[in-house]
């Protein structure tokens, strides 16, 4: 009975992981569309990014809330449009944190739910 339960558990885990894709978000400063080799560049070799692109999904359209890193990172981490948030602008490297970590929620919530909360 225990063996059957363990086998069922392993099977269910395999099915559960098969239904949910692995998502890798590469967020880089000053990386242009044509810079990695998978998009046609030959100037700088990017074999590891090219391998990830070959075995996964490549996106050919991208959108950002800002062309600079501070506001666009703020938007990615909070789900808020940065130009409507007080104090969010292009900051020097030694600036204090924009996101108040003392009030941050420490509970893990699924990404779709977090996106719905951010949109409301």
pLDDT higher than threshold 90 for residue 47 = yes
Give yes or no for a contact between 50 and 37, defined as CB atoms under 8 angstroms apart.
Answer: yes
Q: How far is CA 24 from the centre of its chain?
A: 6
- pTM value? 0.54
d(CA 115, CA 113): 5
pLDDT tens figures, 66-113: 877 788 888 888 888 888 887 787 888 788 877 766 655 555 667 777
Whether residues 82 and 48 fall in one domain: no
- How far are the Cα atoms of 7, 13, 14, 15, 17 from residue 4, in angstroms, in the given order? 5, 14, 15, 16, 20
Tokens describing residue 89: 């602008």
Residue 34 domain boundaries: 22-62
Q: Closest by alpha carbon to 97, among 66, 73, 68, 80? A: 73
Structure tokens at 5: 């339960």
Question: Are residues 58 and 70 both part of a single domain?
Answer: no
Domain assignment of residue 5, yes or no: no
Identify the pLDDT of residue 45. Answer: 92
- Which residues lie below 8 Å from residue 68, measured CB to CB, with a gap of 6+? 90
Report if residue 17 sits inside a domain. no
Asked whether residue 80 falls in the same domain as residue 103, the answer is: yes
| Contact status, residue 88 vs residue 73, Cβ threshold 8 Å | no
Domain assignment present for residue 114? The answer is yes
Residue 90 makes CB contacts below 8 A (sequence gap 6+) with: 68, 70, 71
């Amino acid at each position: 009975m225990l063996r059957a339960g363990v086998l069922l558990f392993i099977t269910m885990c395999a099915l559960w992981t098969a239904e949910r894709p692995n998502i890798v978000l590469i967020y880089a400063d000053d990386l242009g569309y044509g810079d990695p080799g998978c998009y046609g560049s030959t100037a700088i070799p990017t074999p590891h990014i090219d391998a990830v692109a070959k075995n996964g999904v490549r996106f050919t359209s991208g959108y950002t809330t800002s062309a600079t890193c501070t506001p666009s990172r703020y938007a990615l981490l909070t789900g808020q449009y940065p130009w409507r948030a007080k104090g969010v602008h292009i900051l020097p490297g030694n600036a204090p944190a924009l996101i108040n970590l003392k009030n941050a929620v420490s509970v893990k919530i699924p990404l779709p739910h977090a996106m719905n909360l951010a949109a409301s």
